[in-house]
């Protein structure tokens, strides 16, 4: 299996001002190709990017780098990548013209610093950005024969820009890189009403007794995700163990949420739902109404916190 690493750049990530969503997204997208991220680093803007790149160049075959492609002084990823690889930054005239047209259409004032986003390391492939101004970059391995380097994908920081770019531009390149797919699959089971330790007690020993199975758990409020990874035959055996032990406590074997399932079942049965809440403060209604189509089944939600409200509005016996 090819070794894959991810570097997230941005001081805002380490200060807690921005939540990183790139690891989960990229990991899910590349898994069907038999690729798994073996290491992720989050580094601040500046020279820390150089240190991380230098270290990982020799430790992976595919490297994703996110952030630092904007027009401001702290956006230095492009410059550092080019410098480390000994590549000249060249201003791409078509990309520059596209940037000017984009800003003009949106009536955004042009500043000289924006032109930096049209600078491309010599030999790099431009990954178009239809959702923003920062184009991504793909640099083939050993693009400078004198410097050992992996496949490098340099991607914009905002998820609304990165995710479409991965779908449209990155995945086709990865398909051409990964010629032989590993026969590894992943299955997910969403469990409700049973605690994480109980779930492990019911299935852990039996599943791990199956050769070639990787088993993991993720606890959420009121739910537990069970994840198994392995080859098809092993997964089939593990699947039987999990379903036999957990039965109806499994509400989904996909990324479907509990509230999405509730809305789907209510719609199918032509039924409706009203909710009365106290300490959850409207959280249940919020989760239900976030599901597309909830308006067809959700009637009303009441938050009755004070005892008087419970008595007067819900006829609760005092």
For every residue of 112-178, which 3-state class applies, written as one string?
A: HHHHHHHEEECCCEEECCCCCCCCEEEECCCCCCCCCCCEEEEECCCHHHHHHHHHHHHHHHHHHHC
> CATH number for the domain including 208?
3.30.70.2860
Residues 24 and 168 in one domain: yes
pLDDT at 221: 86
Distance CA 192, CA 215 (A): 18
pLDDT at 316: 86
Q: What b-and-e string marks burial along 256-268, b requiring 16 or more CB atoms within 10 Å of the CB?
A: ebbbbbbbeebee
Residues 121 and 238 in one domain: no
Strand ranges inside the chain, DSSP E? 4-9, 37-43, 62-66, 89-91, 119-121, 125-127, 136-139, 151-155, 185-192, 214-220, 223-230, 250-252, 273-277, 298-303
Phi and psi at 112, nearest 5°, equal -60, -30
pLDDT at 181: 62
Residues 244 and 287 in one domain: no
Q: Closest Cα partner for 80 from 110, 40, 116, 51?
A: 51
Q: Closest Cα partner for 53 from 74, 26, 80?
A: 80
pTM of the predicted structure, to 2 decimals: 0.75
Residue 125 has a CB neighbour count (10 Å cut-off) of 14
Residues 100 and 195 in one domain: no
> CATH number for the domain including 273?
3.90.950.20
Q: 240 by DSSP, 3-state: which?
A: helix
> Where a domain ends, among 227, 252, 277?
252
Phi and psi at 35, nearest 5°, equal -105, 140
Contact 8, 67 (CB under 8 A): yes
Per-residue pLDDT of the chain (318 residues; tens, 9 = 90+): 799 999 999 999 999 999 999 999 999 999 989 899 999 999 999 999 999 999 999 999 999 999 999 999 899 999 999 999 999 999 999 999 999 988 888 888 888 889 999 999 999 999 999 998 899 999 999 999 999 999 999 999 999 999 999 999 999 999 999 876 667 889 999 999 999 999 999 999 999 999 999 999 999 888 999 999 999 999 999 999 999 999 999 999 998 999 999 999 999 999 999 999 999 999 999 999 999 999 999 999 999 999 999 988 888 887
pLDDT at 235: 95
The domain in which residue 212 lies consists of 185-252
Residues 246 and 294 in one domain: no
Residues 34 and 143 in one domain: yes
pLDDT at 180: 64
Distance CA 316, CA 297 (A): 25
Reported as type and span, the H/E element at residue 233 is helix 232-246
> Where a domain ends, among 138, 158, 177?
177
Cα 180 to its chain centre, rounded Å, is 24
Residues 69 and 92 in one domain: yes
Contact 121, 87 (CB under 8 A): yes
Cα 268 to its chain centre, rounded Å, is 31
Contact 149, 139 (CB under 8 A): yes
> Where a domain ends, among 201, 235, 252?
252
Residues 171 and 189 in one domain: no
Residues 101 and 208 in one domain: no
Residues 206 and 165 in one domain: no
Contact 81, 171 (CB under 8 A): no
The total of structural domains in the chain comes to 3
Distance CA 232, CA 314 (A): 52
pLDDT at 317: 82
Residues 164 and 45 in one domain: yes
């Amino acid at each position: 299996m090819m070794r894959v690493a991810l570097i997230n750049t941005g001081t805002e990530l380490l200060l807690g001002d921005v939540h990183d969503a790139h690891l989960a997204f990229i990991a899910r997208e590349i898994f069907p190709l038999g690729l798994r991220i073996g290491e992720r680093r989050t580094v601040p803007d500046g020279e820390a990017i150089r240190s991380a790149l230098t270290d990982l160049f020799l430790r992976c075959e595919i490297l994703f780098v996110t952030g630092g492609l904007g027009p401001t002084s702290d956006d230095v990823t492009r410059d550092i990548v080019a410098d480390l690889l000994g590549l000249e930054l060249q201003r791409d005239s078509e990309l520059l013209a596209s940037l000017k047209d984009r800003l003009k259409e949106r009536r955004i004032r042009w500043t000289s610093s924006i032109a930096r986003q049209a600078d491309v390391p010599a030999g790099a492939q431009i990954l178009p950005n239809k959702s923003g101004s920062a184009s991504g970059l793909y640099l083939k391995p050993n693009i400078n024969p004198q410097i050992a380097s992996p496949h490098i994908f340099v991607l914009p920081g905002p998820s609304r820009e990165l995710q479409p770019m991965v779908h449209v531009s990155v995945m086709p390149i990865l398909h051409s890189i990964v010629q032989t797919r590993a026969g590894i699959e992943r299955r997910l089971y969403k469990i409700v009403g049973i605690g994480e330790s109980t779930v492990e007690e019911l299935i852990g020993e039996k599943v791990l007794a199956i050769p070639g199975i990787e088993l993991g758990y993720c606890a959420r409020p009121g739910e537990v995700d069970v994840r198994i990874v392995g080859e098809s035959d092993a997964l089939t055996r593990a699947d039987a163990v999990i379903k036999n032990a957990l039965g109806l406590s499994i509400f989904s074997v996909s990324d479907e949420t509990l509230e999405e399932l509730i809305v789907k079942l209510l719609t199918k049965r032509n039924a409706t739902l009203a909710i009365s809440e106290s300490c959850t403060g409207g959280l249940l209604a919020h989760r239900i109404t976030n599901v597309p189509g909830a308006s067809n089944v959700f009637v009303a939600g009441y938050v009755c916190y004070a005892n008087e409200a419970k008595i007067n509005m819900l006829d609760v016996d005092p």
